[in-house]
Structure 1
Amino acid sequence: MAQISNALLLLILFFIVVNPEEATVYIKLSIVHTTLKEVTLLPIPYVITTTLSIMVDLLLLIGIEDRQKFGAQRRRRKAWPPRETTVRADHCGIWPWPWPAAVRKWRHRLEHVALNSATGYAAVVAIRESTEKLADKPRHVGLLVLEEKVDLEAVAKVILWCLAAGAQSISAYDINGTLVHELENLKEIMKNTLVDARFKKSAVEFVVARPEGEEEHEWNKDGAEQLTGLPVYVVTPVDGKGGLVAAFRKLCDDYKFGTIDDHDVTQETLDKYIKAEYRGMPEPHLALRFGGWGSVLGYPPWHINYSEILDLGSHRNVLLSEFVEVLEKYNKIEKRFGK
């Protein structure tokens, strides 16, 4: 009982040291979750620290902050016309069923202590050793962050894991376009993450899938770009329908002016036009979905038609062992490509 009391007092202390004027429940929980990594320096058994981590994981899964805003969001939905057109995820996550996810998280923390403690270069080595015997690893990975808040450091960490697993390209998508708006910050965080893992800063190169204005990279004849590092295509919610509309419009214009004829209008031709609109972004073999939604919420539908979609809960506290487990699941899946 004394140890449990100490653990609860420690958790309360973490909440107290957070400046309440600084904000929301999510920020507080994030700070607590980050601070828990340092608890191992204190004379408290590992089981207690793990219990505290699981408590925070559970709170994140329940989605306290999102639930607080759900009532207001539901009232806004009754208004017509709608006040905003962007995709919202105020009621996101898997909060109605948090317990199974929390149990899985606890199992990973207890069974894979050494693996989950690996960071930087150690994490890269751990991923390579854990996946070297997998016969089928995804070459193209999609990261679907279907959560209202985006943690750029967490996104950079998952990109590093994909790089270590041998991915040849990545597409990163979030429902509010945060990755595009914060792209410069993401680039700096990614460079620091790569340096810590003993990669070159240029090992990862970000590409806006459908940029406005002039484009920065040279295109080849297939619509893809000449890139030196691992391409990470950043996708926004407006790119889903917008890319398809632009591709069909260009196809119709080319047919109208005689550039192509009836025999050229095939699925392969349409696929080429669509990929050209997205700067050659390939279809992800594996789509990692964060947020607990049973939908892709605006991700380009043409690209994810045959993708294997696997869920990983919240991106803010994803574990390395969970990432490896997803790769193992993908290796066992029979790929039928829609057949």
Structure 2
Amino acid sequence: MKMSAKMENALPPVSKYHQPLLLRLVLGLCWWMVHILFSIQHVVNQILQAVKSYFISILLVQRYWDLQLHKLRSLAIVVDSKEARNTLKVKKLLSWLSRIGVKYVTLYDMEGILKKSLAESQGDLPNGILHKDRMMIELLSFIDSKEGIAKAASFLCNKYLRDELGNCEGKDLSITESDISDTLNVIGFGGPEPDLLLVYGPVRCHLGFPAWRLRYTEIIHMGSLNSMKYGDILTALYEFSKKKQNYGT
């Protein structure tokens, strides 16, 4: 009896074994509840956005149709390469933008799928520019960005070496932002800087769009190209038209 009493005293309390398990269960339950709440909120937001887009599309929300596009000199569209294969959707998107009154669109995907498919349907495109109705469409891919950087670097390197050889006073030579911008324009890779960039795809980034053309660009993620809606485009353009941009000094 004494031996068994000692053994019972030597054994740790049962609750010590159950505390970590109970804590994990409580934390797991809290995490599950938080996940459910965020999922419900996301679904509700998606439904509200779809309803709002529908009402905008059928002209029930008039203010979204009174767009002031004087601030939108250039619009850029970035499409994920997998979704860019759906050329019918892309052409429909361009048709909507033309109907809204956008004058200049830069269309970009990393692999150049859109550039290739539209070039095949339209023939040779001088400087990658396509004219559709009253809208100009510039076609870009990641190769254009890479080639632009390489040519700009080569041009600036040669210019730097010439200036260094002709610099008798030994002054320090530096490359400014304006030098880079001028160089890109000289070699034909400048182009207009888009005021607004719409991203279609699963990721929220510009997917390699030429960074030197995004200094003051507003970027909006529009979701999947397959689920694009006319009302969503009107909403994005309307919200952009109401924004005040401060460029600094």
Q: What TM-score, normalized to structure 1?
A: 0.49
Structure with greater contact order relative to length (CA < 8 Å, sep ≥ 6): 2
Q: Which amino acid aligns with 1:112?
A: I
| Pair member with larger Rg | 2
The verdict on how the C-alpha distance between 1:144 and 1:280 changes in structure 2, with shifts beyond 3 A counting, is same
After superposition, residues 128-277 of structure 1 pair within 5 angstroms as 130-132=65-67, 134=68, 136-150=70-84, 151-185=86-120, 187=122, 207-208=127-128, 230-258=135-163, 265-277=175-187
Which structure is higher in helix share? 2
User: In the alignment, what sits opposite 2:18?
Assistant: none
Q: Which amino acid aligns with 2:149?
A: L
User: In the alignment, what sits opposite 2:237?
Assistant: 327
Contact 1:156–1:186 (Cα < 8 Å) also in 2: no
User: In the alignment, what sits opposite 1:285?
Assistant: 195
User: In the alignment, what sits opposite 1:92?
Assistant: none
The alpha carbon displacement at 1:115 in A equals 4.7
Contact 2:190–2:213 (Cα < 8 Å) also in 1: no
The verdict on how the C-alpha distance between 1:276 and 1:148 changes in structure 2, with shifts beyond 3 A counting, is farther
Cα distance in 1 for partners of 2:42, 2:87 equals 24
Contact 1:175–1:236 (Cα < 8 Å) also in 2: yes
Contact 2:194–2:213 (Cα < 8 Å) also in 1: yes
Q: Deviations over 1:93-151 (max 9, x none)?
A: xx9x97356324531354235259xxxxxxxxxx9x9134x275311000000251222
Q: Percent identity?
A: 21
The alpha carbon displacement at 1:249 in A equals 1.3
| Structure 2 unmatched ranges of 5 or more | 1-38
Cα distance in 1 for partners of 2:71, 2:96 equals 13
Q: Which amino acid aligns with 1:247?
A: A
User: In the alignment, what sits opposite 1:308?
Assistant: 218
Q: Deviations over 1:187-223 (max 9, x none)?
A: 49xxxxxxxxxxxxxxxx77428xxxxxxxxxxxxxx
Contact 1:306–1:338 (Cα < 8 Å) also in 2: no
Give SS of 1:295's match. Answer: coil
Contact 1:170–1:232 (Cα < 8 Å) also in 2: yes
Q: What TM-score, normalized to structure 2?
A: 0.65
Cα distance in 1 for partners of 2:83, 2:244 equals 34
User: In the alignment, what sits opposite 1:90?
Assistant: none
Contact 2:145–2:209 (Cα < 8 Å) also in 1: yes
Cα distance in 2 for partners of 1:187, 1:130 equals 31
The verdict on how the C-alpha distance between 1:148 and 1:115 changes in structure 2, with shifts beyond 3 A counting, is farther
The verdict on how the C-alpha distance between 1:187 and 1:298 changes in structure 2, with shifts beyond 3 A counting, is same
Cα distance in 2 for partners of 1:168, 1:273 equals 26
Cα distance in 2 for partners of 1:101, 1:158 equals 23
Q: Which amino acid aligns with 1:170?
A: V
The verdict on how the C-alpha distance between 1:171 and 1:110 changes in structure 2, with shifts beyond 3 A counting, is closer
Q: Which amino acid aligns with 2:245?
A: K
| Structure 1 unmatched ranges of 5 or more | 1-94, 117-126, 189-204, 210-227
The alpha carbon displacement at 1:313 in A equals 1.3
The alpha carbon displacement at 1:167 in A equals 3.1
Cα distance in 1 for partners of 2:154, 2:136 equals 27
The alpha carbon displacement at 1:329 in A equals 0.8
Q: Deviations over 1:283-307 (max 9, x none)?
A: 1100011114221111111111220
Give SS of 2:213's match. Answer: coil
Give SS of 2:223's match. Answer: coil
The alpha carbon displacement at 1:179 in A equals 0.9
Deviates most, 156-165 or 144-153: 156-165
The alpha carbon displacement at 1:312 in A equals 1.4
The verdict on how the C-alpha distance between 1:137 and 1:114 changes in structure 2, with shifts beyond 3 A counting, is same
